[in-house]
Amino acid sequence: MKRKVIVTCAVTGASALTSNSRYVPITPKQIADEIVNAAKAGAAIAHVHVRDPQTGAPSSDLDLYEETVDRVRSSAIDIVLNLTGGPGAGYDPPVEDGGEIVCVVSPAKRTQHIVQLRPEVCTLDVATMNFGSRAIVNTPTHLKFMAARMVAAGVKPELEVFDLGHLRLALQLQKEGHLPTPSLFQFCLGIPGGAPANTEAMLLMRSMVEAGTTWSAFGISRAQFPMAAQSIILGGHVRVGLEDNLFLSEGELSPGNAPLVERACAIVDSLGCSVATPKEARELLSLTAR
């Protein structure tokens, strides 16, 4: 039988919205519509952030998450929802004493939308690192608290690791019983401050997890499709979407998420594998549909 490969679509992300692409969805309706289109194109999982409908800026507003999730759940499509647990980790200390310090949000607030809306999957960033012009901070204490809240809500954490030290920490927390097993890892490659998007980094990360561990990987920008292909070849699953890359090819903006998903599915097929349906993804990840 052909190996089933899960395609995740990260539809909008939490980066500051720029004028680089008019296709990045902003409102709950636009985000939900993009999730539906991604599902029709072959995505089994949708990774979801929300944005301020007026400004397009990243948001953590519970009402925006609720409206987006309700719209998807009331649609006719089947897809596994994966809500982000990442926002709120930003830390931006001033250069000089006396300046305003932007602090990390409490782990309870960061997981409020996950506990209330109970998606099948959510992300847990096992990462303290430089991220753009600031840092993101996820201490072991916060990670343990957030993981416990996720598990208690019946949600499977997807462990986001951006570098080797993050993966080592995740494995240690798993060994100590703070993270559920079997785990789902996401190797996040190419983000400035983290591991590069290349074969060597992916191979090393894969070598650190036990045989049979379910993992996925993605590269950002022009590395999106090469890393998708490399992940499939090495036995992983894939993630694409406008959160990570805006282009179908050099100079050609993707008019939405669906074309990126279609390209990923074509890569899966061309490498002799089969695109997993949402039902098959649930079986691979030991999930129960909501």
Q: What pLDDT digit, counting tens, does each position of 18-77 carry?
A: 778 999 999 999 999 999 999 999 999 999 999 999 999 999 999 999 999 999 999 999
DSSP state of 122: E
For 135, 267, 269, 277, the CA distances from 40, given in Å and listed in that order, are 36, 17, 16, 11
Q: Convert the pLDDT of each residue in 107-138 to its tens digit.
A: 999 999 999 999 999 999 998 999 888 899 99
Q: What is the dihedral of CA 153, 257, 189, 179, to 10 degrees?
A: 10
Give the whole-angstrom CA distance, residue 182 versus residue 186.
Answer: 13
pLDDT at 290 over 70: no
Q: What is the mean pLDDT of the chain?
A: 95
Q: Convert the pLDDT of each residue in 139-190 to its tens digit.
A: 999 999 999 999 999 999 999 999 999 999 999 999 999 998 889 999 999 9
pLDDT at 204 over 80: yes
Predicted local distance difference test score (pLDDT) of residue 192: 93
Q: Which of 41-45, 131-135, 224-228, 245-249 has the lowest mean pLDDT?
A: 131-135
Predicted local distance difference test score (pLDDT) of residue 261: 98
What is the chain's alpha carbon radius of gyration, rounded to the nearest angstrom? 18
DSSP-derived pairing of the beta strands 184-189 and 156-161: parallel
% pLDDT > 90, the chain: 89
Q: Residue 79: helix, strand or coil by DSSP? A: coil
Beta strands in 167-236 (DSSP E): 184-189, 214-219
pLDDT band with cut points at 50, 70 and 90 for residue 203: very high
Predicted local distance difference test score (pLDDT) of residue 244: 97
Contact 114, 155 (CB under 8 A): yes
% pLDDT > 70, the chain: 99
pLDDT at 289 over 70: no
Give the whole-angstrom CA distance, residue 22 versus residue 256.
Answer: 9
Predicted local distance difference test score (pLDDT) of residue 102: 74
Please give the CATH architecture assigned to the domain spanning 4-285. Answer: Alpha-Beta Barrel (3.20)
Give the whole-angstrom CA distance, residue 179 versus residue 163.
Answer: 18
Task: Please give the model's pTM, rounded to 2 decimal places.
Answer: 0.96
Give the whole-angstrom CA distance, residue 8 versus residue 79.
Answer: 10
Give the whole-angstrom CA distance, residue 61 versus residue 52.
Answer: 8
User: Can you give the residue ranges of every domain in the chain?
Assistant: 4-285
Which residues is 214 bridged to in the sheet? 184
Beta strands in 49-175 (DSSP E): 50-51, 58-59, 80-83, 90-91, 121-125, 129-131, 134-136, 156-161
